[in-house]
Copies of this chain bind each other. A is one copy, B any other.
Amino acid sequence: MNTNKLSLGIVGGGPKSWIGHVHRISARFDDKYEIVAGVFSRNAKLSINFGKTLGISKDRCYSTFKEMALKESKRNDGIQVVSIMTPPSSHQIIAEKFIEKNINIISDKPFAGNLDQAKKLYKKIKSNKKIKYALTHNYSAYPMVREAKVLIEKDKIGKIEYVNVEYIQDWSGGTKINVRNAKKKLKWKIDNKIVGASAVLNEIGTHAYHLATYISGLKAEKIFADIKQISKKIKMDDNAQVMINFTNGAKGMFWTSVMAKGGVYGLRIRVFGSKGSLEWVQNDPNYLKLNPDKGAVRYLERGFHNAELSKKFSRIKFGHPEGYLDAFANIYREFADSLKNKSKKRYFYPNEDEGLETAKFINACKVSSKNKRWVKIK
């Protein structure tokens, strides 16, 4: 076995989970992790059966995360990192258990199920200097998103004046969704006890808000939100629109929906500064549009001369498209590097600070939408 690999345990992501699949491919991508333990089901037998297909030995297939944290922490070859990919409301309690055992964490988003959980988790992470924490806001790991972040840091578009971000999807599956098939199809995503504060905001909106702050370097100061159910029949909030006042005086608009009919699946961000603007869309992720206030629109391409930073986060040459998995794997790759490398190198993966920020935003949205007034983020 490659002794350079980090040993990785997994909580969640069983056979039917697509995000589980994504995490595991990402972990394998750069050969920096060996998946050696996991909790794939509360049923011990099912957990073992699935673990087996991943090449995990029977005794390291657990049925509870507590058991896994306890037993792995006692092994000499115990896991160094745990990846958590369970529903949102369980993120905090699971993560805390591993933090107590000094095990590093990669957690799927959102940071936590609600603001209260988020604050507790944040405190817990900060209390343990031995571990590191990465949050898979994976869109921020696209090379051209990071290029955008750094172009803004370098003042290429001047002082930010406006941010427009949207993440819209269509969960209706091309059918008139109804209570029965929604429950079957969307599962815990329509149960607030599991999905947390807000279905659309915790599942999708959190990515969009994170992306806006990640690229712009700004935070929301005050927001005005309108969360609403657009589709009929299934009780869930499926649409949210938010006006944002950012800390530097910039304005912004945010829209997220899971009922934008037409098979639409769009994450798009535009940042306007005093000297130009930037645009990035996930459906064309290898390009970044830069509009200087004077002069031609530029299409910066991943890996090409015009986008030097992006090369660090790419694996293949310009002209050959990279996609969602390549970006997701960037978080795993960088996290491994940060665990091995003790230098003060800059890392770009999202962490607990960003996680707490998204939880504050979602909470403020709920308050604002209910009270129909501008709400301060705190």
Contacts and interface: CB of A to CB of B under 8 A. Distances in A.
A18 B299 contact: no
A272 B297 CA distance: 20
Interface residues of A, number: 91
Interface in A42-80: 53-55
A109 to B, nearest CB: 15
Contacts of A324: 316, 320-322
Given A1-B55, A25-B315, A230-B161, A276 B293 contact: no
Interface stretch (A7-15, A188-196, A260-268): A260-268
Interface string A28-42: 111100000000000
B257 A162 contact: yes
Interface string A310-330: 000001111111111110000
A239 B250 CA distance: 11
A276 B264 CA distance: 9
Given A55-B1, A293-B172, A299-B297, A322 B320 contact: no
Contacts of A305: 174, 263, 294-295
Nearest to A283: B321
Counting chain B CB atoms within 10 Å of each CB, the highest count among A22, A290, A300, A319 belongs to A319
A308 to B, nearest CB: 12
A243 B263 contact: no
From A53, A231, A326, residue with most partner B Cβ within 10 Å: A326
A161 B2 contact: no
Contact of A29 (B25, B282, B283, B317): B25
A14 to B, nearest CB: 16
A151 B348 CA distance: 41
B239 A241 contact: no
Given A2-B54, A261-B291, A298-B298, 17 more contacts: A18-B316, A18-B317, A29-B29, A31-B55, A170-B293, A230-B251, A261-B272, A261-B293, A263-B291, A263-B293, A263-B295, A265-B320, A283-B321, A285-B321, A297-B301, A316-B324, A323-B326
Sorted nearest first, the 9 A-B pairs with minimum C-beta distance are A265-B319, A2-B55, A262-B291, A174-B294, A323-B323, A262-B277, A296-B298, A296-B306, A321-B323
